[in-house]
Amino acid sequence: MVEHQGLQLLAVGSRFTIRFKKLNAYLRPANILTLQQLQIGQQEPIDGLGGVHLVAGYVLADDGLSIERCALVLLHHDEVVWVIDLDDHGQVLGLPRPGSPASPTGPSPEPRLPLIVPRTEEGRAGSDAR
């Protein structure tokens, strides 16, 4: 964990930084618009913290108390680029295909083409997940 101007981040080497946030139903965090949040949202380096900025977050259920969904999200200019759903124990439910534009190991992401891994009724990623 690193702290940068009051923001707690998990740095994964120099490749990723992950912040932990509550997400809305559209998998976007609610942020007060600051220069730091603009830099993160535009995937710009932040004073020594390079790499891709990700959000690990949760979506509350309608009751406002229980968690409906946990996910790891890549955002670019407030657009969801890709989502990796996590189960209650932090296990990955599905991944974007390696080498696809929406893959963390592929080419630079296209922010207008979100990849959302679908969930089946059992809460697992469906077999048609890309």
- Which pLDDT tens digit goes with each residue over 9-60? 888 888 888 989 999 999 988 878 888 888 888 888 877 777 899 999 999 9
List residues bridging with 22 in a β-sheet.
Answer: 58
- Which positions ≥6 away from 63 have C-beta within 8 Å? none
Give me 64's structure tokens: 């406002």
Residue type, position 81, single letter: V
- The residue-averaged pLDDT of 107-117 equals 42
Structural domain tally of the chain? 1
pLDDT at 109: 40
Q: Distance (Å, rounded) from C-alpha 116 to C-alpha 20?
A: 19
pLDDT at 54: 92
Q: Which three-class secondary structure state does DSSP give residue 104?
A: coil
Given a cut of 80, is residue 105 above it in pLDDT? no
Sign of CA pseudo-dihedral 12, 39, 80, 114: negative
Q: Distance (Å, rounded) from C-alpha 105 to C-alpha 34?
A: 29
- The pTM is what? 0.66
Of 2, 3, 21, the residue nearest 11 (C-alpha): 2
Q: Which domain holds residue 115?
A: 1-130
Given a cut of 70, is residue 124 above it in pLDDT? no
pLDDT at 59: 92
The answer to whether residues 71 and 84 touch, using CB atoms and an 8 Å cutoff, is yes
Q: Distance (Å, rounded) from C-alpha 93 to C-alpha 16?
A: 20
pLDDT greater at residue 63 or residue 111: 63
pLDDT at 89: 63
Give me 62's structure tokens: 């309608």
pLDDT greater at residue 111 or residue 52: 52
Please write the tens of the pLDDT for every residue from 68-93.
899 999 988 888 889 988 876 666 66
